[in-house]
Amino acid sequence: MSAFRVTHSGLLQGLLRDVQAALRGVEEAQRAASTGKRVRQVSDDPPAAAAILETAHLLRAVEQYRRNASMVAAHLASEESALTQLDALLARAREIAVQQANSTATAASRESAKEEVSRLIESVSDLGNTRLAGGYLFGGTTPDVPPFSAPGDLTGGNTPSRSIEIAPGQYLRLSANAAEVFQDTGVLAALDQLVAALDAGDPAAIAAAAGAIAEASDALQARIADVGGRTLRLEAVTANLDELEFNLRVHRSNLEEADFEAALTALVGRQTALQATLLAASRMLSFDLTDYLR
C-alpha cells in the first residue's frame, strides 16, 4: 500500500487558492449587491449575456420605429390641417357660386366674385405647396419638387406617396400626393369651372359649378377620413410599441439585474465562507514541527 505525502508548500498553495477563490466570490457578491447587476460581462453568464445583447438590439429597433412613427404623426397632422383648410376654401367657393347663380346677381357682383375665387385658387395652390421638414407635404416621392408651379397650375406631386415602416413589416403612408388631393377629387376642375361660369355670366353654368364644388367637397371628405383612418392605425401601432418596449425592458432587467435580497444573502454567505477559509488557513499555518510530532 502506497502512502500519499502532502508537503508543507503544497498545503500553502492549496490554502492560497482557497483564499483567493473566496475573495473573488466576496468581490463578485459585493459588486452584484452594490450595482444591482448580475451580468456585467459575457463571462459572468454567456447565455444570459447573449440574450441581453439580442434584447438591446430589439430595443434599438423599437426606438427607430418610434422615430418613424413620430415622422408619420407629423405628416398626418399637417395633412389633416391642410385638407381641413382646403375644405373651408371649397365651402366659401360654393357659397359664392350659390349667391351668383341667383337671378338678382349683377355683372359687377359676378366680376367681383370671380376675383375672389381666383384668390381662393391661389390659397388652394399655397396649401398644395405646404412644406414640412424641408420638403413638400404633397410632393409624393419627389418632396423637393413643388406640386404647383403657379396658382392653379398643378405640375408636380403626381409621383407615388411615400410609405415608412412603423413596426416590423407594417408600413404607413406619410401623406397623399397632390394629384390625389387636388386633381382626383375634382377640386381644381370645379374651381376652374366656377371661374369660367362667372366670367361668362351664365347663372345655369354657375349653378352647375356649385354642384361640382359640392361633389369635390364630398370627395375631399373621403381623403380626410383616410387621414383619420391612418391616424387611428398609427395610434394602435404606437400603443403596441409601448407594450413591446416595456416587455423587452422587463426581460432585460430579469436577465441582467440581481435580486437585491438574493444578492445580500449571497454576499453574507460568501463572507462567511471567506472567514471560514481564513480561520482554517490560520490554524493550519500555526502548526509547527512539534504539532506534527505529537
Helix, strand and coil percent figures for the chain, each rounded to 5: 70, 5, 20
Locate cell 424641408: which residue? 134
Write down the CATH superfamily of domain 53-252. Answer: f41 fragment of flagellin, N-terminal domain (1.20.1330.10)
* pLDDT exceeds cutoff 90 at 251: no
Q: What is the amino acid identity at position 61?
A: A
* pLDDT (tens digit per residue) in 93-111: 999 999 999 988 999 999 9
Q: What percent of the chain has pLDDT over 90?
A: 62
Give me the residues paired with residue 37 across strands. 257
pLDDT on residue 130: 97
Residues in CB range of 136: below 8 A, 6 or more apart: 129, 130, 143, 144, 145, 146, 147, 156, 157
Locate cell 468581490: which residue? 27
Backbone angles phi, psi at 69, to 5 degrees: -65, -35
* pLDDT exceeds cutoff 60 at 196: yes
What are 227's three cell numbers?
Answer: 387621414
pLDDT on residue 239: 95
Backbone angles phi, psi at 115, to 5 degrees: -65, -40
pLDDT on residue 250: 87
* pLDDT exceeds cutoff 90 at 5: no
pLDDT on residue 30: 55
Q: What is the amino acid identity at position 183?
A: Q
Q: What is the amino acid identity at position 208?
A: A
Neighbours of 52 (CB within 10 A): 18
pLDDT on residue 103: 84
Rounded to whole angstroms, the Cα distance separating 240 from 62 reads 10
* pLDDT (tens digit per residue) in 16-51: 676 666 566 656 655 655 555 666 666 667 888 888
Report domain extents, the chain: 53-252
Average pLDDT estimate for 171-180: 94
Confidence of residue 154 (pLDDT cuts 50, 70, 90): very high
